[in-house]
Chain A
Amino acid sequence: MTEQRERELICRAIDQRFSKKQGDPRLAKQIIEIEKGDIKMKKKLSLAMVLAIIALTIAVTALAVITIKEVGRQIAENEKQQGYFVNWELEKKIKLISNLADLQYIERSDEVSGLIKGSLTEQEAHEAANDIIASFTGQDVDGIGFMSIMQVPMGSVENWTYEEKAWYSTLMREVGIESDGMTQFVQPSGRISEQEAIAIARREIAKGYMVLEDELDRYRVSVDFEIPEAAESGNKQAYWHVRFEAPEDISEDERLFILFPVYIHPDNGSLLWSVQDMLSIPDSGE
C-alpha cells in the first residue's frame, strides 16, 4: 500500500469519527475579545471532568466517613484490651490524637504538635494526651471511653442514624465488647415504617392507660430498630423500639409514666409485650 493511500484511509477514518466536531465560527472574534479584555477565557468543563469532580467529591466524603469509623474501631479495640483511655499505652493515645487532628476534629495546637512529634517525656506526654482528650470530650479523663470520644465527631448517640447505630453494634460485637444478650441495633427492615410504628405504640399506650391519644402529645418520642436485649435467648428478631418519655415539667400527679417502651414487630405490627402485660408488672415504667 502506498503512503498516499495510507494517508487517505487515516484521514477518512479520523474525519468520519469526528465529523460532528466542526470549528466554532465565532472563535476568531472570541480570541480578539479575550485579548482586548472584553471577555474572559472560559474553560469548558467536559462531561468526563464533571464525572471526575463528582467521583472525587464522593471519594473524599467516603474517605472521611471511613476514617472516622476506623478511628472508632481503633478506640473500641484499645478499650477491649486496656479499658478506658486513661489506661492506654502512650503510643495508642498519640495515634488517636494524631488521627483526630488529621480529621480536623482536634486543633493542631502547640501542645498537640509537641505530643505528636514526641518532644515530651513519657510522663509529660501521658499528661498532655489526657488533657487533650479531656478537653476534647469535656469530661473528666478517668471515665473517657468509646462513647465519650465518638459522640464528639458523630454527635449525640440519640441522634445517630439507624446506619450509625447498626455500625456501632456490629463493631462492639466484632471487637468483643458486647455479645449476645445485649441490645443489637440493626438497619430497619420490614413492612411497618417508623411512623407507623410510632402510631401503633401511641394507640396501644393510650388504650392501656385508658386515655385519649392526645394525652401523649406532651411526651417525647424516640425510636430505635433493634434486637431487644430482654428478648429470649436465641431470638434474633429485630423490632421497632418506640419510647414515650415524660417531659421534665410535668408533675408526678399529672404524668402517666416516666418512660414507656413498646416493641413492635416490623412485619405484622404486633407488640413483643403488650401494654397490658407491662402494666401488670409491679412498678412498670417507673
Chain B
Amino acid sequence: MNVVKGPDNAREQELKRLVDAYQTSLLRMCQIHLQDSALAEDAVQETFLKAYRALSSFKNEGSEKAWLMKIAINTCRDIRRSSWYKYVNRWVSPDDLPEEASRGDVSNEELSSAILKLPTKQREVIMLFYYQNMKLADIAGILGIPLSTVSGRLGRTRKKLKALLERSDQDD
C-alpha cells in the first residue's frame, strides 16, 4: 500500500481502492463475528471510516490487509461490548438463517453453521486464518495475543470442525 499524504483526491482514490478490494470479505467476516447483517454493515462502514482517517498515518510496515483486519476486529469487539448487542439473542436472529440453501448444499450449510456456533475467539482465528488467508504471525498481531495461543486455538477449532470438513470433502 502506498502511504497517502497528498491532496484529498489521492486519499479518496486510495479509499475507493481499499473498499473495492476488501469490502465484501470484511462484510462476511464481520457478519460471522457479529451474527447480524445490519451490525456487520455498520462495522464495515466504521472500519473504512477509521481507515480513511488514518490513511495518512498508516506506516507501510505490515500489510494493508492485516491493518484493515485489525481495525475491523476491534470495531466488531466494540460493538459486541455495547449493551444493545448483549441484550439481543443472536441465535434467534433471522439474520442467522441461511441465505441460500439447496438440497445439494447441506454439508456447506452445516459447516458454516458450525463456524457460526464456535466461541468468538475461535471464530476470529478461523476467519482470519482460513477465510482471510492470513499468516499465524499476522493473526497474533491483529488479535494481540501470542503466536502459540493462535496456534492452539486454531488446532482446537480444526478438531471441532474435522468431521464436517471431511464430509464436505466427500460430498464434492
Contact = CB atoms under 8 A, between A and B. Distances in A.
B48 A27 contact: yes
Given A6-B158, A19-B100, A52-B87, A34 B108 contact: no
Contacts of A27: 19, 23, 44-45, 48
B71 to A, nearest CB: 13
B130 A28 contact: no
Interface stretch (A7-15, A175-183, A215-223): A7-15
A182 B27 CA distance: 67
Given A1-B169, A27-B45, A46 B37 contact: yes
A157 B46 CA distance: 54
Given A14-B32, A31-B52, A6 B130 contact: yes
Contact of B42 (A10, A18, A23, A44): A44
A109 interface: no
A256 B8 CA distance: 89
B49 interface: yes
Nearest to B29: A14
A9 B12 contact: no
B153 to A, nearest CB: 15
Contact of A46 (B32, B36, B166): B36
A24 B93 CA distance: 22
A193 to B, nearest CB: 39
B95 A32 contact: no
Contacts of B38: 44-49
Interface string B148-172: 0000000000100100011011000
Interface string B18-36: 0110011001100110001
A239 B114 CA distance: 59
Interface residues of A, number: 38
A35 B53 CA distance: 8
B88 to A, nearest CB: 4
Contacts of A121: none
Contacts of A12: 108, 168
Contacts of B44: 23, 27
Contact of A5 (B27, B28, B37, B169): B169
B106 to A, nearest CB: 11
Interface of A: 1, 5-7, 9-24, 27-28, 30-32, 34-35, 41, 43-49, 51-52, 56
The 6 closest A-B pairs by CB, nearest first: A46-B38, A23-B23, A44-B38, A48-B93, A13-B111, A17-B112
Given A9-B111, A13-B107, A19-B100, 16 more contacts: A6-B165, A10-B165, A14-B32, A16-B109, A17-B108, A21-B27, A21-B40, A22-B27, A23-B24, A28-B15, A28-B20, A31-B15, A31-B49, A35-B49, A41-B45, A49-B88
